[in-house]
Amino acid sequence: MASALCMACCQSDVEARFFTASSLVMRLRRARDDGRLDREPNQVGRAGLLVIDELGFLPLDTDGARLLFQVVSNAYERQSVVFTTNLEFSRWGSVFGDDQMAAAVIDRVVHHGRLLRFRGEPHRVTHALMQDGGAQ
């Protein structure tokens, strides 16, 4: 759904950026190491839509969580942000390694946000090429 939304933005000439949470953090670390951290969040923030996919799939260390928090803070009330995650808000503290930082991110997300919860089998499971044929 998030990638389809990105595609729709691009087809409508609205700039969109799609990152996994871990790839965005790696990009921000590289920017910091290269002395470009002051410019990189602005680059990411130019897009009308920012998608951060797989939040919580891989844990963030404290440094990575702070970098991601900076992006979310910069995006607040300036651009649309979509997070994809399998984690309920109560578990975001484990992602960010800090309950207060997670609460600050959640506060920004829910202030103007909408929560979409998808139920049922994941699309990849129902459309998998490998199906259980019942062979034993």
The pTM is what? 0.86
125, part of any domain: no
Residue 12 covered by a domain: yes
For the segment 69-76, the average pLDDT, to the nearest whole number, is 93
Q: What percent of the chain has pLDDT over 90?
A: 73
Question: pLDDT band for position 131 (50/70/90)?
Answer: low
88 inside domain: yes
SS3 of residue 118 by DSSP: coil
The boundaries of the domain holding residue 12 are 2-114
Distance CA 75, CA 98 (A): 20
CA–CA distance, 10 with 51 (Å, rounded to integer): 13
Tell me the C-alpha distance between 26 and 23, whole Å: 5
